[in-house]
Structure 1
Amino acid sequence: MPKTVINGTWDTAHPDHREFTGTALMACGAYLAGAIGARHVRVSGAGHAPHQDRPDEVNAVLARLWQS
């Protein structure tokens, strides 16, 4: 079954938030994707909630997943 893990890149977040939260969450996403054999997608310009920050990009990723 195809799987996808989606993370924001936290590149627009305040540097403190990126350092203390974003870096850890991006690492967790990468680890989880590897552990379950999933595709890992990082959404540029998004933080903790990529589906809210960049809905068109997240919807496109989900559409590709559902079509596979």
Structure 2
Amino acid sequence: MHDQPNNPLHGVTLEQIVTRLADHYGWETLARKININCFKNDPSVKSSLKFLRKTPWARTEVENLYIATFAI
């Protein structure tokens, strides 16, 4: 495995990303920032992970919001 010093998400799991964003914004605000159903309808970390792992464009949006929010 290669070190990725320039990758701001290196070592951060998708679960950590979703959990931290949900804690920071709350599900309602998160759904306004990223318009996906898993944040709107009965949101949970588990349902969000299931959707995001199958939907690359949505995962990219969530990762980009994480980077922008926490400026890592």
TM-score by length of 2: 0.31
**Structure with the larger strand share:** 1
Q: Higher relative contact order at CA 8 Å, sep ≥6: structure 1 or structure 2?
A: 1
**Structure with the larger helix share:** 2
TM-score by length of 1: 0.33
